[in-house]
Structure 1
């Protein structure tokens, strides 16, 4: 018998081409988001911002950030403690802040307030 060959069931569709202006605008927006998140992490580390407020009412630029990464910016929270908290709250480490359900948000905030 010949080896099985994989044939795509759907034709491959390329993403639409973007103009130079569209690419530059997307790059500018991505850089603004990265800069804002970096400042937010510095504020969390310095205690100028509360992780509780951030989780309950996240700004738009943070909604696609990973919960794991934001918790790492909180003082006294390292990888082990963050993984433990997320596991107790039944939250995947790859979950984004915008992707949290209301149950996960409230459970995570109550866990962090202990």
Structure 2
């Protein structure tokens, strides 16, 4: 057995966790601002899953778009079917492609219109 011991970085573990949480929080805020401003496409975020979106719920990402709310998000995800709490990182490739296709094709717009 070839085990190697790793030395923990200096400082308390909770301070490292806090620093990491702040880093993720700031990166997510920047991502949401980009999505809200139209600079970043939500479908691309879903397909490529950057590290800051890995543990983010799908609903949070969808709602960060301009003119999107909980109802519109719920209707779109109900068509897949997918939970609003599912994280972007835990989605399968098939789910990613299906959701991105719906967002790109305008299926998201049809989901919001009552039939």
How far residue 22 of structure 1 moved from its aligned partner, in angstroms, is 1.1
CA distance in 2, matches of 1:31, 1:45: 21
Indicate the residue corresponding to 1:79 in structure 2: 70
The CA deviation at 1:76 is 2.2
Equivalent of 1:46, from 37, 46, 49?
Answer: 37
Match of 1:32 among 19, 23, 33: 23
Is the partner of 2:30 in helix, strand or coil?
Answer: helix
* C-alpha RMSD of matched pairs (Å): 1.3
Q: 1:1-114 alignment to 2 at 5 Å?
A: 21-113=12-104, 114=106
Which portions of structure 1, spanning 4 or more consecutive aligned residues, are displaced by more than 6 angstroms? none
Query: Matches of 2:68 and 2:41 in 1, distance apart?
Result: 14
Specify the structure having the higher radius of gyration (Cα).
1
For each residue in 1:56-78, what CA deviation from the matched residue of structure 2 results, as whole angstroms up to 9, or x when unmatched? 10111210000000000011221
Q: Which runs of 5+ in 1 are unaligned?
A: 1-18
- Gapped runs of 5+ residues in structure 2? 1-9, 107-115
